[in-house]
Amino acid sequence: MLLYVDALYASPYAMSAFVALHEKAVPFHMQTLNLKTGQNKEAAYTALSLTQRVPCLVDGEFALSESSAIAEYLHETLPGTPLYPTQPRLRAKARQLQAWLRSDLMPLRVERSTEVIFCGHRAQPLSAEAQAAVQKLFGVANALLLEGNKNLFGTWCIADTDLALMLYRLVAHGDFVPEHLASWAKHQWERPSVQAWCAQPRPQP
């Protein structure tokens, strides 16, 4: 298998797909694309990636973009660590969370891009809009972690990594995060598949 990722290894979606592959313990290679120079819009890549974004997984003659679609494909076709809960309702909840994290909280995602985690970038204090998004994030996280569980839905799933990454944008930057949420995110961050992504060689700023 071949996984296309961004050249900075900073895309949260590329990270999610990488973690999913790593959890499945399937051999794969990576190819980086420089998004700033538009390599993702060149003909060779657009022939593979319907959305012209990263990540894109190539499995033989099959190519698939969008990290949640990649996770579902790997979950359904490969043995090994399940990427989603086995119970249909919990699985639906995990996918609901993934969809929300990818479609909401835009001020937070802009003002605390994942480059603050992986590239050491520093940003200005959060705007009022971003602060409102942060409170919404905390509310969702608190609702899902009411019982102090180490994982969202009993056993680990890919949605744990996705939520931890959103919280870690704040943790890594030094913004306030309630201690129980920060501790949970740090626990998830120590997962070997996540640490393998963190260890990727990144270009110097």
What is the strand order of the sheet 62-65 is part of? Answer: 29-33, 2-6, 56-59, 62-65
pTM score, whole prediction = 0.95
Q: In angstroms, rounded to a whole number, what is the distance separating the alpha carbons of residues 92 and 181?
A: 23
Give the β-pairing of 56-59 and 62-65.
antiparallel
Q: In angstroms, rounded to a whole number, what is the distance separating the alpha carbons of residues 202 and 164?
A: 21
Residue 146 pLDDT: 80
Cα separations in angstroms, 69 against 23, 95, 105, 194: 16, 10, 21, 19
% of the chain residues with pLDDT over 90: 96
Closest CA to 8 of 118, 95, 113: 118
Q: In angstroms, rounded to a whole number, what is the distance separating the alpha carbons of residues 55 and 119?
A: 19
How would CATH label the architecture of 88-193? Answer: Up-down Bundle (1.20)
Residue 149 pLDDT: 86
pLDDT (tens digit, 9 = 90+) per residue, 14-73? 999 999 999 999 999 999 999 999 999 999 999 999 999 999 999 999 999 999 999 999
Give the β-pairing of 2-6 and 29-33.
parallel
- Say which amino acid occupies 1: M
CB 73 within 8 A of CB 55: no
pLDDT (tens digit, 9 = 90+) per residue, 120-144? 999 999 999 999 999 999 999 999 9
What does pLDDT average to over the chain? 96
CB 187 within 8 A of CB 102: no
Confidence label for 183 from pLDDT (cuts 50, 70 and 90): very high
CATH entry, 2-81, from 3.40.50.720, 3.40.50.10420, 2.40.50.140, 3.40.30.10 = 3.40.30.10
Residue 203 pLDDT: 83
Q: What is the DSSP letter of 110?
A: H
CA 22 to chain centre: 13
CA 82 to chain centre: 16
| Residue that has been written with the tokens 């086995």 in this structure | 86
Residue 205 has pLDDT above 60, yes or no: no
Domain boundaries, the chain: 2-81, 88-193
Residue 144 pLDDT: 95
Q: In angstroms, rounded to a whole number, what is the distance separating the alpha carbons of residues 193 and 197?
A: 7
